[in-house]
């Protein structure tokens, strides 16, 4: 059996979520997307936030999310931050 399980991961993610009205993650698919995205970041050279010696990037990503070292943002928060970056880039280009 894999530890932590999908259920344990979803509980850990939703405990740390700022939105109390509804859970941030409700499906295994969301957990898979989040862990794979973080694993790709680790492969690209981002620094791990937990000891990762001898571990595969996906195992490290799962551990980071389970321990609350990495947080998942809702889709709308990601879009807002992308819009802010675009606006800042446009302002910089005008100067």
Q: Which domains does the chain have, with CATH numbers?
A: 6-94 (3.90.940)
Per-residue model confidence (pLDDT) at position 72: 82
Buried b (16+ CB within 10 A) or exposed e, 28-64: eebbeebbeebbeebeeeeebbbebeeeebbebbbbb
For the chain, how many helices (H) and strands (E)?
4, 0
Phi, psi of 85 (to 5 degrees): -65, -40
pTM for the model: 0.71
34 neighbors 6 (Cβ within 8 angstroms): no
For residue range 54-64, what is the model confidence (pLDDT) as tens digits?
A: 999 999 999 99
For the chain, which residues score pLDDT lower than 50? 1, 86
> What is the C-alpha separation between 73 and 78, in angstroms, rounded?
6
Per-residue model confidence (pLDDT) at position 6: 84
């Amino acid at each position: 059996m894999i530890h932590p399980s999908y259920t344990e991961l979803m509980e850990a993610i939703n405990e740390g979520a700022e939105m109390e009205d509804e859970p941030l993650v409700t499906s295994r698919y969301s957990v898979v997307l989040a862990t794979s995205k973080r694993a790709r970041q680790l492969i690209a050279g981002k620094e791990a936030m937990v000891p990762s010696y001898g571990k595969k990037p996906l195992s490290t990503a799962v551990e980071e999310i389970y321990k609350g070292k990495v947080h998942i943002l809702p889709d709308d928060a990601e879009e807002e931050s992308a819009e802010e970056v675009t606006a800042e880039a446009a302002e910089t280009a005008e100067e």
